[in-house]
Amino acid sequence: MSSTERLYSVLIRRNAEAEDEIPADRRHTIAPNGLRLVLANALQSSGDQVVNASTVLPWLFAVLGVPPALTGVLVPIREAGSMLPQAFLTPLVLRVRYRKWVFIAGALVQAGAVAVMAGTAALGEGLAAGLMIVAALAIFALGRCLCSISSKDVQGRTVPKGERGQINGVATTAAGLVAITLGLVIRLLGGSDIAAEQLFWLLALGVVLWLAVAAVYVGIREPVNEQSASAKSTTNESASEHKNSFVRMATLLRRDKPFRDFVTVRSLLLVSSLSPPFIVTLSVQAGASSLTGLGGFIIASGLAALIGGRLFGRFADRSSKKLMSIGAGVASAVIIVTVGLAALPAVSADSWWGNILFVVSYFAVTLMHTGVRVGRKTYVVDMAQGDQRTVYVAVSNSAMGLILLVTGGLSSLLALVHIAWPLLFLAAMGIIGVVAGARLPEVSRG
């Protein structure tokens, strides 16, 4: 057994039955491809921490003197911008024989966008700097869109069922280690007194990470298009009968019930992704903010990734649908308990108890989001084959872009009344998602 095979077997619990179904001439590529996917995903997740629209970029805006109103568009542009274009871009992606090149193009686009942000951090200030960074973030989201469409298809072609969730999990764990290290360094550099020059070097690191992602992906040995007859039917129907991307998306959602059910459940599981910023705001309003700060939140999210990556990766290979439901259910429960405890007088001041409550709550919800994310990624890869998988990923993400904008808008309106209301609204969605998720068919190894 080669060193590559040994290392892959140490990191990933292999599914011999699924590997036996792969043609003999391709089995020797499973381990090297799997290790490259682990490394590329870890580098990508680390890059996401460096260009985090919820922590790093708002901090940069404050340092550069960007008007606060512009800060509110960062997360919507980052998230919805990487999802909405996917239905439009799918017909172009389907024409590419080897999807890894689509991913590489997306990684290079993101590297270029982060380079613009770094340059702005070094030279810009005020409104002009804010607008430049927002524009670069929109381009960054487009590059991430290309990576999102292609990455799951590449993983589905190169790694068998029963191993895909573990690859996502190991990569998430590695990125968690990077995030913890980054958070500790930031706290040592001054916590809340970080200067624009230090943020420039942080973003410059992001450029290096995205270039490394592209370089690692070049070495993946992707098989020729494995498009199945059913996938061809879906793709041809979408291309010939419906030229309008929104019509094509609506048609697939209407006719494909299992896929529609997955998108519905995924929409209800936004609780773990949208609630962390509101938990931070709730802690600030309560006055319990001495343990917060850029470094503190990055450390918390890094710990969640470190603990959850390995654990949830194996869970996802056994039952990705159960992982999604459990993650959303626990996150909803944590939010409800946090809102209730935050109303107590003991938490209304800058107290040790208050700090512990909000830090633990933020960590717990972020940990559950790690599980939900690993679960849904594994589920959509396992539920389809060939080009149908590409279509599923693109359409579900485009639909989620629209749903994210609507849900985010409703949450923002509720926040005008009190910051607790959007948290309770998201928790209620999560509880409904748990019930709906139990009805999804099982597509994992079991």
> Model pTM?
0.72
77-86, 227-236, 406-415: least confidently modelled range: 227-236
Q: Give yes or no for residue 1 having a pLDDT over 80.
A: no
Say if residue 84's pLDDT is above 60.
Answer: yes
Average pLDDT over residues 411-427: 85
How confident is residue 26, by pLDDT bands cut at 50, 70 and 90?
Answer: confident
pLDDT digits (tens, 9 = 90+) for 346-393: 665 456 666 678 878 889 998 999 889 888 888 888 887 777 777 887
Tokens of 79: 């998230």
Who wins on pLDDT, 188 or 64? 64
Find the angle CA(219)-CA(220)-CA(223) to the nearest 5 degrees.
135
- Bin 386: left if φ > 0, else alpha if -120 < ψ < 50, else beta: left
The arithmetic mean of pLDDT across residues 279-303, rounded, is 68
The mean of the pLDDT values for the chain is 81
**Contact present, 184 and 299 (Cβ < 8 Å):** yes
293 touches 187 (CB < 8 A): yes
Predicted local distance difference test score (pLDDT) of residue 232: 47
Whether 291 shows a pLDDT value over 60: the answer reads no
Highest mean pLDDT among 62-71, 350-359, 410-419: 410-419
pLDDT over 70, % of the chain:
85
Q: Give the pLDDT score at 119.
A: 95
Please check the confidence at residue 444 and state whether its pLDDT lies above 80.
no
